[in-house]
Chains A and B, each alone.
Chain A
Amino acid sequence: MMHSAQNPPIESAPRRARSIRGRLFAYLLLPLVLLLVASIWADHKTYVTPLYDAFDRALSHMAVAIAGHLDRGPDGQLHLEKPDFGPPPLHPPHAGPPPDDILNDHDKPPGPFGAHGGPFWRRLFPGARESFLYRVSLPDGRTVLGDEGLPIPPGSNADDFSYGDATYKQLVLRVASYRTQVEGQPVIISVGETVHRRNHAVQRLDTIIGISDGIQLLLVLGLGLFGITVALRPINRLRERITQRQPQSLQPLPLEPVPSEVRPLVQSLNTLLVTVRDAAQAQQHFLTNAAHQLRTPLTGLKAQLEVLASETHDHAQQERIARLYGSVDRLAHTANQLLALARAEPSANSPGDFTRVQLEALIGTVADAMLDRTIARNIDLGAECAPVPVRGVHWLLHELLINLVDNAIRHTPDGGRVTLRCGLHDGAPYLEVEDSGPGIPPPERERVRQRFYRAAGSDGQSSGLGLAIVEEIARSHHARFEILDALEGSGARMRVTFPAGVAQ
Chain B
Amino acid sequence: MRILLVEDDPLVSDAIVRGLATAGYVVDAVTDAESVQSRLDTTHYDLAIVDLGLPGEDGFTLVRRLRREGSSLPLLIVTARDGLDDRVNALDLGADDYLVKPFALPELAARCRALIRRATAATANEMVVGQLRIDLAGRRAIDNGGRVLELTRREWSILECLAHHSGRVVSKERLIQAIVSWDEEISGNAIEVHVSRLRAKLGEAATVRGIRGLGYRLDDA
Contact = CB atoms under 8 A, between A and B. Distances in A.
Interface in B191-221: 209, 211-214, 217
Nearest to B86: A288
Main secondary structure of the interface of A (DSSP, over half): helix
Contacts of A336: 82
Contacts of A372: 107
B22 A310 contact: yes
A304 B169 CA distance: 30
Contact of B213 (A300, A307, A385): A385
A300 B82 contact: no
B19 A299 contact: no
Classify chain A's interface size. 35 or more
Contacts of A467: none
Interface stretch (B36-44, B98-106, B146-154): B98-106
B18 to A, nearest CB: 4
B84 A382 contact: no
B178 interface: no
Interface string B103-138: 111110000000000000000000000000000000
Nearest to A398: B84
Contacts of A304: 11, 14-15
Given A307-B105, A395-B82, A395-B83, A382 B212 contact: yes
Nearest to A417: B212
A487 to B, nearest CB: 14
A300 B212 contact: no
B186 to A, nearest CB: 20
A394 B84 contact: yes
B169 A364 contact: yes
Nearest to B53: A292
Contacts of B100: 295
A420 B213 CA distance: 9
Interface string B1-33: 000000001111011101100100000000000
Contacts of B10: 300
B171 interface: yes
A384 B83 contact: no
B139 interface: no
A312 to B, nearest CB: 13
Interface residues of B, number: 33
B180 interface: no
A382 B213 contact: yes
Q: Which of B22, B105, B168, B171 has the most CB of A within 10 A?
A: B105
A149 to B, nearest CB: 113
A291 interface: yes
Interface string A369-384: 0011001000011111
B162 to A, nearest CB: 14
Contacts of A488: none
Q: Which of B80, B82, B169 has the most CB of A within 10 A?
A: B80
Interface in A139-171: none
Contacts of A291: 80-82
- Per CB-CB distance, the 9 closest pairs between chain A and chain B, nearest first, are A382-B212, A300-B11, A303-B15, A383-B213, A395-B84, A295-B80, A292-B80, A299-B102, A300-B12
15 contacts: A292-B53, A292-B80, A296-B9, A299-B15, A300-B10, A301-B11, A303-B12, A307-B105, A367-B169, A368-B168, A371-B211, A383-B213, A383-B214, A394-B84, A395-B83
